[in-house]
Amino acid sequence: MPTVQIISSSEKDKNILQGAFADLGAETIFSLDLNDALAIFERVRPRAVFIADGEDPPSEIKIREILRIAPFMPVVVMLRRRDAARAVALMKLGAFDCAQSPWTPEELRPLLKKALKLSGTALAVAPPPPDTMRKIVLAAGALAAGLFLFALGYGLSQHRKAEAARIPDTVELPYSHPAGIAFADGEVLVADWYTQSLYRHSAADYKINGVTSFPDLTPVGLGHSADNLWLATADGRVERRSRDKRLTRTASVKHGMSALTGVCFDGLYIWTADGKKGIFQKRMNNDDMLVLGEYPYRGELAAFTCDRDFLWAADSRSGEIVKFPLDNPERSAAAMSVAELSDKTFRATALGTDGTSVWLTGERGGKGLLIKKNARF
């Protein structure tokens, strides 16, 4: 049974809608207002959101905030009266469609069915069972044909499975301005400055597992450890955040760099880099993130990260990813050419490592890209 979230503060509307959606076979989760809706949104993971129009804050704001944390969520606004001009205006803002009053099962049925269909193509390992008569006929035919084709089909399916299972090394992201990358518990975390959000992608297939929105800041860099995330912000701070569900802020420091190019944690120290000045900075892992040392970088630093063994730099002049030993950050240990870095249409924005791979994010032609390279070079 699909779950839909309904935002309505009216007890009367709630009773009407609960009955209507029950008739349609949908489970409903009610939220009294936007804050309540956003608080339970990630826990509930609804298939669609229905907003009762005419309440505070206006539906326009509710649509914006919901789509900020779930860009692909079908949002339906339930109008108090048939108002085509308002419906079109809301649809331009991102609403999937609008219902008109009265909110009966007949009115809501097509909207619900279409909204559920919007959320993705239904995938099945086998077609639905046919009726009894057809089943007998089909079974006889299928047996003969199946035996004949089994060997050929098996080989083909194995080949296709292997192809489908192969995870691509370059992925187009469903947002356009990736600015930081980190890793946690089998997930790839990408911060997007434009949507002011942190997207959690499955490392297995890059599907989005969840989104955390930061309405009060613009992320421009991201680092991670087992317990914390370090988030660089556009207003010149580095924030330490616990890796709890709310990503609670535990420290916030002005970094004093003119163009922060990356922030990371090597297991002992925090590192930051300034692409404009061409320096790496080693910092204490405390609330003040005190600078312990500065090391020059002589290339054109486009993105930066580190792990327990190396500092990593994406260089847009040489078109390489270069690594430096932690104990000698002025002398490169190895470099690998990366075609994307030499491509003038690509702009590298962040670098990250998960131990086995080095990951690059960037923008090309208005699209956000995630690129994976082998870190063993």
- Least Å from the CB of residue 114 to other proteins: 4
How far apart are the C-alpha atoms of 20 and 112, rounded to whole Å?
11
How far apart are the C-alpha atoms of 239 and 219, rounded to whole Å?
10
| 315 touches 367 (CB < 8 A) | no
Binding mask 94-113 for other proteins (x = CB under 8 A): x-xxx----------xxx-x
Residue 367 interacting with other proteins (CB under 8 A): no
Distances (CA, A) of 36 to 32, 57, 124, 132, 168: 6, 12, 35, 49, 38
Residue 44 or 89 with smaller CB distance to other proteins: 89
- Least Å from the CB of residue 74 to other proteins: 7
Crossing angle of helices 11-23 and 105-118, in 10° steps, is 70
Instruction: Please pick, from the candidates 16, 40, 44, 118, the single residue that binds other proteins as defined by CB under 8 A.
Output: 118
How many other C-beta atoms lie within 10 A of the C-beta of residue 35? 11
- Least Å from the CB of residue 138 to other proteins: 23
Joined together, the tokens standing for residue 16 give 């009407």
Residue 94 or 299 with smaller CB distance to other proteins: 94
- Least Å from the CB of residue 23 to other proteins: 15
How far apart are the C-alpha atoms of 363 and 347, rounded to whole Å?
5
- By CB under 8 A, the residues from 66 to 95 that bind other proteins are 74, 82, 84-85, 87-88, 91-92, 94
Residue 16 or 91 with smaller CB distance to other proteins: 91
- Least Å from the CB of residue 202 to other proteins: 24
- Least Å from the CB of residue 117 to other proteins: 6
Tell me the helix, strand and coil percentages in the chain, rounded to 5.
25, 40, 35
- Least Å from the CB of residue 35 to other proteins: 25
Residue 107 or 309 with smaller CB distance to other proteins: 107
Number of residues that bind other proteins (CB under 8 A): 19
Alpha-carbon Rg of the chain, whole angstroms? 25
- Least Å from the CB of residue 95 to other proteins: 8
Dihedral angle over CA of 280, 283, 289, 292, nearest 10: -110
Residue 92 or 344 with smaller CB distance to other proteins: 92
At position 318, the amino acid (one-letter code) is S
β-strand pairing of 3-7 with 48-52: parallel
Residue 46 or 329 with smaller CB distance to other proteins: 46
Q: Which residue has the tokens 């292997």?
A: 162
- By CB under 8 A, the residues from 34 to 53 that bind other proteins are none
| 362 touches 347 (CB < 8 A) | yes
How far apart are the C-alpha atoms of 202 and 190, rounded to whole Å?
11
Residue 111 or 257 with smaller CB distance to other proteins: 111
Query: 295 has which bridge partners?
Result: 280
How far apart are the C-alpha atoms of 229 and 212, rounded to whole Å?
13
Residue 115 or 181 with smaller CB distance to other proteins: 115
- By CB under 8 A, the residues from 125 to 164 that bind other proteins are none
Binding mask 205-244 for other proteins (x = CB under 8 A): ----------------------------------------
- Least Å from the CB of residue 234 to other proteins: 29
Q: Is 89 exposed, middle or buried (0-12, 13-18, 19+ CB in 10 A)?
A: middle
Binding residues for other proteins, per CB under 8 A?
Answer: 74, 82, 84-85, 87-88, 91-92, 94, 96-98, 109-111, 113-114, 117-118
